[in-house]
């Protein structure tokens, strides 16, 4: 039986009091209702914490602190900032294995979507929010994804430099994404639709 | 056979060879692709997080375009398949559809829910069919050990369970066999490539992909075929970095499904864009050309 | 003993099950030469019609007076073969089975030679035993009609109704002034959220009005004696000091000085679980049956203070108070007894980390049940006893007093089974009544096993009940509130939950009825509940023939299971009572009076209360209606006076002597 080897770091992302205590008080008792009212979070109430989701997760095997079951439990208990400030909220790869396997059809993967939506709405920052905002901006401006633009907006020039020779290699093969955006001819229609969609219930 | 063609954003940009190869294969097999030039991005999960209502409306718009043509929607990307099929499923609910149609009306569009969202793999195996495909094979894949990398979204998009078993899928291996090849299975073939966290936690994506590539290699695969350009990007363009992350290089060429089919059909490799890959495909092409069979 | 006998030996092939391993012909050859054996024959299937006819034919034609059938286990066909033998004219108790299947061919499949030798030994032994058997007579004994049901909670009530409807006379005895038991105060029942009294009250009324049920309340069984076919119970009815003239106007209760603000004496209300006080004269709850007021003499000023206070008698318009009433003795003779004495809630005071008893705002689930009663002490709102304010944050703690350490005298080792569902029930009732209340359930495992339970639990989460996996380390005070320290395995966080009220899901304990159990000679299991005959396969009978157990007296269970078990107990009792006569199994103990010296040892070891030393004749006497023939007494008897028929020492020794020389070494 193989066991994931990296040591678990329970302290990651948690805030200690002045005396070092990591005990928390559930401060947002209606947070679960907020999530239940967000697209993707509708079924959060019926999660029984069986752990099938985490057991199916390809990320948890490599990064044990990313625990989707635990994330759902933290939402249900009312630990709002604990969840929305957690950088690991953005580590989910959207593989939908948890969604496929959950015996109660809670859709944990879609709860992550709902949480990210709330986090973005609250103005949370970090590499995750940055990427999501870059993507949305590209859709708004072009109707489609301008890969190069989204990449630079997401990881910045420093991030690009960290890619090393990859960019060069891709350039040489003609694989590098187009530097110029190509907005749809009907971009105005797309923008009008996006604006109108905001009024939907 | 006519389909509204939705290549998605990556297939027409950094993985432009996929669009190229798909068009070549379609032409060869007599599939008419109706371009939806004004269709917007499927959202890829990111837009669903940033602006879920906009994402639903934009996908409804894409679906209404296909419906207006009276055809099904054809995708060549796992993620597009996932998010378009999801939107389509939500739009089957009359209340949701009416809500969205009220918004679509502002841009003079309407969706009645009659389109099916299908991936190229489904179309090849269900609409074209194994017999016709096999009959068209000019370069059987022969001794080539071909592994499949399904990618999670294609397996788990709504409606996929009817087409293949999400836990132990077989359809790509079936395609490989139809094309005269030798399918190789390995544990990681249904795992995730990590594309969606490339800009956030590249380390995770590299470790995932690196591990899967080595597994495929250890199982004897000489080339991998994948139905998703996002997986392709990670497995091909990032193969070097992935190998560094897990301590060993796999050196496996990665083909898009359309390219695999195109090569087997005897289409000129130049037209399939294989030269664009970072991990050279040339050895595979050479091996196939040596076994080329000319038929009357 | 060994006159010229005509013994027949029938060897069965069992269609190969025996003959594939044991060489049946060889066994036959070895036994046909034995002394007394006039017939040794083999057959494919002795149990078939043909086999049985063969048996009967040989018995009749040869006048056999002893038969050994070598076949499968006696548990399968011993009764059948004996019946057939009897029909053919031979005493059925002269037939024995030699088990050469389960104990031979099955056990030694791969050693055919040795199996054959062993079969020879087994058959020889039984033949020898049969040679020493005497014919036995089957006797019957009358059973006293009538059933006593002790305890009038839901189990006792249900069993009584079934038996009474079947035609039996039932005496239903209840210790408290009213029937209904614990179910009456549960307010609602899970998972249907039915009003408990609405489902219980019709049954209570049915029992109260049933012509074949004699309801005896405010009474206890003081003594119980067993004799063949009968139980004699001495029941003491406590005096209520209130006569039937009572019209239920409640004036006496209003005026009674006990438990008023200035009174030096106050009594905690049992009904309200100590949340309120009651008067010395009281009706336990509005729908109590019988609807009779009762004076609690232990707290009444008239009785405790020299007869001066007579307020109730003075204000009673019906003149129903009678201070001269005396306890009444009721002698009851019944054929069967059902013990349905129910449960009580564990007192969590010893578990000091939870603060029960130390902190006024730490309660038990039964107390909360009273609070949730809209006619109860807090009119349906869970409130802080310290200041009466409604609780905005409630933390429930599971497994208090249950699932404890083996051998710990302060807690119980068992799981009390129902408390998970009780917590879910109360939690969702609270959420429905006051949705903004925060309710947390701290649990170890959540046991929602029954029909509708999972759906009920999931629904509670849709209402917003929060579940924390982990039991608390401490309940402490923080200002006017309590703080609960708990590490939550689900969120991976160490929590401090502020609470207005902490509710402990305390264990279910059996009602203490030690004296009753002693008089009925009933054992308790290590967990303290009444010991059933067999935990898995026979949960309603007890080791004492004629005494049955039902409901929580036997173990923790919910109302549905109590009703099911009460039905089973009633049925068992009805079967036992039968047509008024029981057929006695003759294979029980008997005493040779000449050898008995009344040393009491057999009486001491008998688990079935089936042998007693007659004090006048100074001889042990076996009650054949109760003896199970287990043989324990025969082991301790110093003179061999007591023995079990067909298993006497000479019979066994003869068998062994015949087998020993043939023993097969492994």
Q: Is there an interface between B and A (3+ Cβ pairs < 8 A)?
A: yes
Residue C655 lies in a domain: no
What is the pLDDT averaged over residues A175-189? 93
- Around A76, how many Cα atoms within 13 Å sit in the side-chain half-sphere? 34
Neighbours of C336 (CB within 10 A): 28
| Cβ-based contacts under 8 A for chains A and C | 65
CB C237 within 8 A of CB C219: yes
Chain A interface includes B253 (CB < 8 A): no
Q: Are both C194 and C267 inside the same structural domain?
A: no
For tokens 């709902």, name the residue: A114
Q: Are both C232 and C263 inside the same structural domain?
A: no
Which residues constitute the domain of residue C43? 7-136
| pLDDT above 80 (res A12) | no
CA separation for the pair A130, A140 (Å, rounded): 15
CA separation for the pair C7, C116 (Å, rounded): 21
Chain B interface includes A2 (CB < 8 A): no
Which candidate from C469, C490, C494 shows the least CB-CB separation from A23? C494
Residue C141 lies in a domain: no
Q: Are both C450 and C518 inside the same structural domain?
A: no
Using pLDDT thresholds of 50, 70 and 90, give the confidence band for residue C468: very high
Across the beta sheet with C66-71, what order do the strands follow? Answer: C37-43, C7-12, C66-71, C95-99
The rounded mean pLDDT for chain C is: 94
Q: Are both C176 and C260 inside the same structural domain?
A: no
Q: What is the pLDDT of residue A6?
A: 47
Strand pairing report for B182-184 and B117-119: unpaired
| pLDDT above 50 (res A5) | no
Show residues of chain C in contact with A78, CB under 8 Å.
466
Q: Is there an interface between B and C (3+ Cβ pairs < 8 A)?
A: no
Burial class (CB in 10 A: 0-12, 13-18, 19+), C276: middle
- Token couple for B276: 């664009």
Chain A interface includes C137 (CB < 8 A): no
CB C531 within 8 A of CB C522: yes
Residue C68 lies in a domain: yes
DSSP C50-91: HHHHHHHHHHHHHT-SEEEEEES-HHHHHHHHHHHHHHTTS-
Q: What is the pLDDT of residues C219-249, one digit of tens each?
A: 999 999 888 889 999 999 999 999 989 999 9
Q: What is the pLDDT of residues C117-161, one digit of tens each?
A: 999 999 999 999 999 999 999 999 999 999 999 999 999 999 999
Residue C662 lies in a domain: no
Q: Are both C283 and C362 inside the same structural domain?
A: no
| C14 backbone dihedrals φ, ψ, rounded to 5° | 55, 40
Q: Are both C234 and C245 inside the same structural domain?
A: no
CATH for C268? 3.30.70
C-alpha gyration radius of chain B: 19
Q: What is the pLDDT of residue C51?
A: 94
Contact A151 B103 (CB under 8 A): no
Give the residue from chain A lying closest to B198, CA to CA. Answer: A93
Q: What is the pLDDT of residue C608?
A: 84
Q: Are both C612 and C637 inside the same structural domain?
A: yes
For testing contact with chain C, the best of A73, A75, A88, A102 (most C CBs within 10 A): A73
Query: In chain C, how many domains are there?
Result: 5
Contact C458 A49 (CB under 8 A): no
Q: Are both C379 and C486 inside the same structural domain?
A: yes
The rounded mean pLDDT for chain A is: 90
Q: What angle do CA C604, C609, C613 make, to 5 degrees?
A: 60
Chain A interface includes C223 (CB < 8 A): no
For B205, the 3-state DSSP assignment is helix
Domain boundary among C552, C577, C602: C577
Q: What is the pLDDT of residue B296?
A: 42
Percent share of chain A, pLDDT over 70: 93
Chain B interface includes A107 (CB < 8 A): no
What is the pLDDT averaged over residues C553-562? 98
- Around C621, how many Cα atoms within 13 Å sit in the side-chain half-sphere? 10
Q: Please identify among residues 513-572 of chain C the ones whose CB lies closer than 8 Å to any CB of chain A.
A: none
Domain boundary among C101, C136, C171: C136
Residue C300 lies in a domain: yes
CA separation for the pair A69, C492 (Å, rounded): 10
**What's the first-to-final CA gap in chain C, in angstroms?**
34
What is the pLDDT averaged over residues C440-463? 97
Residue C663 lies in a domain: no
Residue C435 lies in a domain: yes
Q: What is the pLDDT of residue A8?
A: 47
Q: What is the pLDDT of residues A48-78, one digit of tens each?
A: 999 999 999 999 999 999 999 999 999 999 9
CA separation for the pair C628, C644 (Å, rounded): 10
CA separation for the pair A179, C140 (Å, rounded): 105
Q: What is the pLDDT of residues C285-327, one digit of tens each?
A: 999 999 999 999 999 999 998 888 999 999 999 999 999 999 9
Would you give the DSSP letter of residue C232?
E
What is the pLDDT averaged over residues A1-15? 51
CATH for C604? 3.30.70.20
Strand pairing report for C493-499 and C481-488: antiparallel
Using pLDDT thresholds of 50, 70 and 90, give the confidence band for residue A7: very low
To the nearest whole Å, the CA of B173 is away from the closest chain A CA by 21
| Helix spans in C378-502 (H) | 419-433, 453-462
Q: Are both C482 and C350 inside the same structural domain?
A: yes
Q: Are both C224 and C316 inside the same structural domain?
A: no
Q: Are both C355 and C497 inside the same structural domain?
A: yes
Residue C131 lies in a domain: yes
Q: What is the pLDDT of residue A14?
A: 66
Using pLDDT thresholds of 50, 70 and 90, give the confidence band for residue A10: low
Q: What is the pLDDT of residues A133-170, one digit of tens each?
A: 999 999 999 999 999 999 999 999 889 888 888 888 89
Q: What is the pLDDT of residue C2?
A: 52
CA separation for the pair C24, C13 (Å, rounded): 7
Q: What is the pLDDT of residue A79?
A: 95
Residues 6+ apart with CB under 8 A from C617: none
CB B41 within 8 A of CB B65: no
Would you give the DSSP letter of residue C102?
I
Q: Are both C12 and C120 inside the same structural domain?
A: yes
Q: What is the pLDDT of residues C476-514, one digit of tens each?
A: 999 999 999 999 999 999 999 999 999 999 999 999 999
Q: What is the pLDDT of residue B142?
A: 81
Contact C493 A33 (CB under 8 A): no
> Would you write out chain B's pLDDT as a tens digit for each of its 296 residues?
999 999 999 999 999 999 999 999 999 999 999 999 999 999 999 999 999 999 999 999 999 999 999 999 999 999 999 999 999 999 999 999 999 999 999 999 999 999 999 999 999 999 999 999 999 998 888 878 999 999 999 999 999 989 999 999 999 999 999 999 999 999 889 999 999 999 999 999 999 999 999 999 999 999 999 999 999 999 999 999 999 999 999 999 999 999 999 999 999 999 999 999 999 999 889 888 777 765 54
| pLDDT above 60 (res C1) | no
Which H/E stretch holds residue C399? Answer: strand C393-400
Q: What is the pLDDT of residue C3?
A: 65
Better-predicted residue by pLDDT, C199 or C406: C199
Domain boundary among C509, C534, C551: C509
Crossing angle of the two packed helices A187-197 and A127-142, in degrees rounded to 10: 130
CATH for C202? 3.50.50.60
Show residues of chain A in contact with B237, CB under 8 Å.
166, 169-170, 175
């Amino acid at each position: 039986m193989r066991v994931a080897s990296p040591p678990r770091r329970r302290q990651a992302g948690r805030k200690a009091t002045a005396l070092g205590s990591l005990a928390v008080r559930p401060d947002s008792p209606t947070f679960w209702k907020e999530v239940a009212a967000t697209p993707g979070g509708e079924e959060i109430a019926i999660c029984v914490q069986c752990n099938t989701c985490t057991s199916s997760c390809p990320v948890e095997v490599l990064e044990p602190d990313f625990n989707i079951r635990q994330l759902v439990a933290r939402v249900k208990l009312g630990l709002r900032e604990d969840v929305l400030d957690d950088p690991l909220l953005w580590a989910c790869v959207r593989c939908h294995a948890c969604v496929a396997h959950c015996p109660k059809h809670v859709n944990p993967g879609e709860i992550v979507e709902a949480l990210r939506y709330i986090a973005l709405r609250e103005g949370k920052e970090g590499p995750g929010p940055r990427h999501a905002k870059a993507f949305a901006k590209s859709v708004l401006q072009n109707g489609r994804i301008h890969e190069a633009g989204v990449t630079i907006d997401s990881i910045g020039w420093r991030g690009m430099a960290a890619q090393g020779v990859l960019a060069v290699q891709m350039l040489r093969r003609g694989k590098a994404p187009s530097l110029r955006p190509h907005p749809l001819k009907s971009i105005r229609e797309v923008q009008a639709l996006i604006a109108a969609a905001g009024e939907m219930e | 056979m006519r389909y509204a063609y939705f290549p998605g954003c990556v297939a027409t940009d950094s993985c432009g060879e996929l669009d190229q190869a798909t068009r070549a294969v379609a032409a060869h097999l007599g599939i008419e692709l109706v371009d939806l030039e004004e269709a917007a991005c499927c959202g890829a999960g990111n837009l669903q997080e940033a602006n879920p209502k906009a994402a639903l409306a934009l996908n409804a718009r894409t679906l209404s375009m296909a419906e207006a043509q009276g055809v099904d929607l054809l995708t060549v990307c796992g993620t597009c398949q996932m998010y378009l099929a999801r939107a389509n499923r939500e739009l089957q609910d009359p209340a949701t559809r009416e809500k969205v149609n009220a918004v679509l009306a502002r841009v003079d569009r309407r969706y009645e829910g009659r389109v099916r969202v299908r991936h190229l793999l489904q179309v090849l195996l269900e609409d074209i069919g194994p017999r016709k495909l096999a009959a068209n094979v000019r370069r059987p894949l022969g001794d080539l050990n071909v592994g499949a990398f399904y990618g999670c979204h294609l397996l788990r998009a709504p409606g996929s369970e009817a087409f293949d078993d999400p836990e132990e899928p077989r359809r790509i291996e079936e395609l490989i066999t139809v094309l005269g090849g030798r399918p190789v299975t390995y544990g990681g073939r249904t795992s995730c490539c990590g594309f969606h966290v490339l800009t956030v936690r590249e380390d995770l994506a590299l470790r995932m992909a690196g591990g899967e590539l080595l597994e495929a290699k250890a199982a004897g695969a000489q080339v991998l075929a994948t139905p998703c350009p996002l997986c392709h990007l990670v497995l091909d363009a990032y193969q070097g970095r992935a190998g560094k992350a897990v301590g060993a290089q796999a050196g496996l060429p990665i083909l898009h499904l359309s390219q695999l089919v195109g090569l087997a059909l005897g289409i000129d490799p130049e037209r399939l864009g294989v030269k664009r890959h970072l991990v050279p495909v040339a050895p595979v092409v050479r091996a196939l050309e040596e076994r080329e069979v000319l038929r009357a | 003993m060994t006159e010229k006998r005509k013994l027949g030996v029938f060897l069965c092939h069992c269609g190969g099950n025996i003959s594939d391993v044991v060489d049946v012909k060889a066994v036959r050859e070895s036994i046909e030469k034995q002394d007394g054996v006039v017939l040794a024959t083999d057959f494919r299937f002795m149990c078939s019609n043909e086999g049985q006819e063969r048996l009967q034919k040989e018995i009749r034609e040869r006048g056999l007076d002893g038969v050994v059938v070598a076949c499968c286990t006696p548990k399968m066909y011993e009764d059948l073969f004996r019946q057939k033998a009897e029909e053919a004219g031979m005493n059925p108790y002269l037939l024995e089975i030699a088990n050469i299947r389960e104990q031979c061919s099955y056990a030694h499949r791969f050693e055919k030679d040795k199996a054959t030798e062993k079969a020879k030994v087994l058959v020889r032994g039984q033949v020898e035993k049969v040679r020493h058997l005497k014919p036995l007579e089957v006797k019957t004994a009358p059973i006293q009609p009538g059933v006593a049901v002790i305890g009038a909670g839901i189990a006792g009530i249900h069993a009584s109704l079934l038996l009474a409807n079947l035609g039996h006379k039932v005496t239903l005895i209840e210790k408290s002034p009213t029937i209904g038991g614990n179910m009456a105060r549960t307010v609602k029942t899970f998972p249907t959220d039915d009003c408990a009294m609405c489902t219980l009250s019709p049954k209570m009324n049915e029992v109260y009005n049933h012509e074949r049920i004699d309801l005896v309340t405010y009474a206890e069984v003081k003594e119980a004696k067993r004799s063949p076919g009968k139980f004699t119970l001495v029941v003491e009815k406590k005096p209520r000091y209130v006569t039937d003239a009572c019209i239920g106007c409640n004036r006496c209760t209003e005026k009674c000085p006990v438990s008023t603000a200035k009174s030096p004496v106050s009594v905690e209300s049992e009904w309200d679980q100590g949340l309120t006080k009651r008067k010395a004269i009281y009706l336990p709850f509005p729908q109590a049956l019988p609807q009779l007021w009762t004076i609690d003499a232990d707290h009444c000023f008239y009785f405790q203070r020299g007869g001066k206070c007579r307020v109730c008698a003075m204000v009673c318009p019906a003149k129903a108070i009678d201070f001269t009433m005396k306890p009444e003795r009721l002698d009851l003779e019944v054929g069967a007894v059902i013990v349905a004495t129910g449960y009580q809630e564990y007192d969590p005071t010893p578990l000091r980390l939870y603060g029960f008893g130390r902190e006024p705002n730490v309660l038990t689930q039964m107390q909360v049940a009273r609070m949730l009663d809209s006619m109860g002490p807090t009119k349906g709102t869970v409130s802080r006893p310290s200041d009466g304010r409604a609780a905005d944050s409630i933390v429930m703690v599971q497994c208090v007093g249950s699932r404890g350490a083996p051998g710990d005298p302060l807690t119980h080792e068992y799981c009390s089974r129902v408390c998970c569902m009780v917590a879910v029930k109360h939690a969702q009732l609270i959420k429905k009544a006051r949705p903004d209340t925060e309710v947390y359930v701290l649990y170890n495992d959540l046991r929602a096993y029954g029909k509708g339970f999972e759906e009920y639990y999931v629904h509670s989460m849709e209402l917003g009940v929060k579940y924390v996996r982990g039991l608390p380390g401490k309940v402490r005070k923080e200002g006017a509130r309590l703080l609960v320290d708990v590490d939550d395995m689900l969120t991976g966080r160490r929590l401090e939950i502020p609470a207005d009220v902490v509710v402990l899901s305390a264990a279910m304990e059996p009602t203490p009825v030690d004296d009753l159990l002693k008089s009925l000679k009933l054992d308790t299991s290590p967990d303290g509940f009444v010991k059933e005959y067999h935990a898995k396969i026979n949960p309603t009978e007890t080791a004492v023939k004629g005494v049955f157990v039902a409901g929580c007296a036997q173990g923790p269970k919910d109302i549905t299971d109590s009703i099911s078990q009460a039905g089973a107990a009633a049925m068992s009792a009805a079967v036992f009572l039968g047509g008024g006569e029981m057929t006695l199994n003759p294979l029980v103990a008997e005493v040779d009076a000449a050898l008995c010296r009344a040393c009491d040892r057999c009486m001491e070891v008998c688990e079935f209360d089936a042998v007693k030393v007659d004090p006048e004749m100074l001889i042990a006497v076996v009650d054949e209606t109760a003896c199970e023939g287990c043989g324990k007494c025969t082991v301790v008897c110093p003179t061999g006076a007591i023995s079990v028929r067909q298993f006497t020492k000479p019979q066994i020794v003869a068998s062994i002597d015949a087998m020993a020389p043939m023993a097969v070494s492994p």
